[in-house]
Chains A and B, each alone.
Chain A
Amino acid sequence: MHKIVSQNVNFYYGEFQALHDISLSVKENTVTALIGPSGCGKSTYLRLLNRMNDLIDNTHMSGTITIDGNDIYDKHTNVDDLRKNVGMVFQKPNPFPKTIFENVAYGLRVNGITDKKIIEERVITSIEQVALWEEVKDKLHKSAFELSGGQQQRLCIARALAIQPSVLLMDEPTSALDPISTSKVEELIYELKKQYTIVIVTHNMQQAGRISDNTAFFYMGELIEYDKTKTIFTKPTKKQTEDYITGRFG
């Protein structure tokens, strides 16, 4: 059963076509890595999955994307509900100017949850899920900016988890982190895949190899090759893929 199915997706920034005819399906409870040289459209594709590109003026898309069988670009789709179901984590840790607790509680509050008990429960569970509890339990009501970059990034993941999405999108989530924080986040992703479907953009080939089940190679807005990560890294069928993963360009 496929969780996310995109068919013949084209995407344009004004006149510029950033994605060409992308068809790609993602299985539930897997990690899918999107790789490819800078500017090839990885982030653009990722942002289509929670309709974040809607925020950019003068853009349009064609083709269909379904999540759990529902066309997410259908007129009747509630974008807020979609985004609640599809969490996102960004390249640079970007906690809100609030306390650690309030950062995680934010998604609950804006979705109308007011019950203090439920909020507290969910906040604590989410922080535990990202293995941050021991580090922050004594300063939940301090500013999130007091945390290290790696801790902030895990907090941002907790923030996304608090509203119980089923899909998690990550755009180079470790590229601003040190090696130790990076491996913590990688372990975390491995754990999270049991409950979530994860799509992650990464420039780090080893990372893609370590954590993903499937890998999609993008080049100049096209999906060149998409297969099991092992296959992509050991016997890619396309010359461009091989050149890229062996570091000959990009």
Chain B
Amino acid sequence: MSTEKKLANKKRRNQNIAFGLFTGISYSVVGLLFVILAFIVVKGIGVISWEFISAMPKEGMTAGGIFPAIVGTLCLVLVSMVFAFPVGVFAAIYMNEYVKDGWVKKIIKQMTNNLAGVPSIVFGLFGMSLFVNKLGFGDSILAGGLTLGLLVLPVVIRTTEESLKAVENTFRQASLGLGASKWQTTRNVVFPIAFPNIITGLILSIGRVSGETAPILFTVAAYFLPKLPTSIFDQAMALPYHLYVISTSGTNIEASRAMAYGTALVLIVIVLISNLLANKLRKHFGKKVKMN
């Protein structure tokens, strides 16, 4: 009886310790995140103004705004997504719906996963040699966008695959059972059901793309370019690189410190907006195809 009680006490104590530990850790993580955010908001909010987001940089980037960097980043996001979405989604559909289980599939999977782990600077070098030099795009939004597209391709493939996997098999069977072909089934039944999750994954990758510096370093990013790009063959400024430049090698680093935090704030806001958008879209489409 008393040993039973002891055991019960011990169990309860261990449970409390573990629970306390996990609670503590999760709150610290959230807290830390909050501190980082607050830090950047506090430091950066001062320079945020209409001029800051709508004007060209001035006086060796210590004054004026970051408009061309915002435009540049948006262009890069657009080009990379136009490339990575269709390619990634089709690759995932092929992998998940068409390739039979076996070693071929395993190898492709493994390669995709490895690709996701390659440091982004390596993508930058690859993009430079392929797009900038070999294909002759030069330093351009096209070259940078494609490089970023390659970078997120594994993410797009993986999220799409996960979303397709989550579609219950009886939907496929029901469609095929009516004499539909595999492609009809994928296009009319499987894809629409998976779509809300796919779109979420895609938008989350926008956050990734807009924040990367290394892949654009050798492929597109301009140090200082106080005009807007006119075509995808132009060079452009970009937020993360601009941030790097004015924090490390501007003409007057101290003077542009506030601008740097302002830039960081804008970047974070763009990422936050795309995440919110992802949630909204998922809810919107989710309602349309809600399972029973």
Contacts and interface: CB of A to CB of B under 8 A. Distances in A.
Interface of A: 50, 52, 55, 57-58, 80-81, 83-84, 86-88, 90-94, 96-97, 106-107, 110-111, 143, 145, 149, 152, 156, 159-160, 163
B176 interface: yes
Contacts of A152: 292
Interface in B174-200: 174-181, 184, 188-189, 192-193
A110 B178 contact: yes
A93 B291 CA distance: 10
Nearest to A92: B170
A162 B290 CA distance: 24
Given A58-B101, A152-B292, A163-B179, A96 B174 contact: yes
A92 B288 contact: no
A86 B177 CA distance: 8
Contacts of B290: 145
A85 to B, nearest CB: 9
A52 B291 CA distance: 23
A232 to B, nearest CB: 28
B288 A143 contact: yes
A110 B181 CA distance: 8
Contact of A90 (B174, B288, B289): B174
Nearest to B185: A110
A156 B193 CA distance: 17
Nearest to A85: B179
A123 B180 CA distance: 17
Interface string B22-38: 00000000000000000
A80 to B, nearest CB: 5
Contacts of B181: 80, 110
B178 A97 contact: no
B180 A110 contact: yes
B179 A81 contact: yes
B184 to A, nearest CB: 5
Interface in B263-292: 288-292
Contacts of A93: 292
A57 B169 CA distance: 13
A107 B193 CA distance: 18
Nearest to A80: B179
Interface in B101-124: 101-102
A110 B101 contact: no
A149 B177 contact: no
A14 to B, nearest CB: 10
B174 A110 contact: no
Given A80-B181, A107-B178, 18 more contacts: A52-B176, A55-B172, A57-B100, A80-B179, A83-B179, A88-B173, A92-B170, A96-B188, A97-B288, A106-B188, A107-B179, A110-B175, A110-B180, A111-B179, A149-B292, A156-B174, A159-B174, A163-B179
B171 A96 contact: yes
Nearest to A87: B177
A97 B193 contact: yes
A52 B173 contact: yes
Contacts of B100: 57
Given A50-B177, A57-B100, A87-B177, A110 B172 contact: no
B175 A96 contact: yes
A88 B101 CA distance: 25
Nearest to B291: A145
Contacts of A94: 168, 170-171, 174
Contacts of A87: 177-178
Contact of A92 (B175, B179, B184, B292): B292
Given A80-B179, A92-B170, A110 B288 contact: no
Contacts of B184: 110
12 contacts: A83-B177, A87-B177, A90-B170, A90-B174, A92-B170, A94-B170, A96-B189, A107-B179, A110-B178, A110-B188, A145-B290, A159-B178
> Which of A81, A107, A149 has the largest count of B CB atoms less than 10 A from its CB?
A107
A59 B174 CA distance: 20
A47 to B, nearest CB: 8
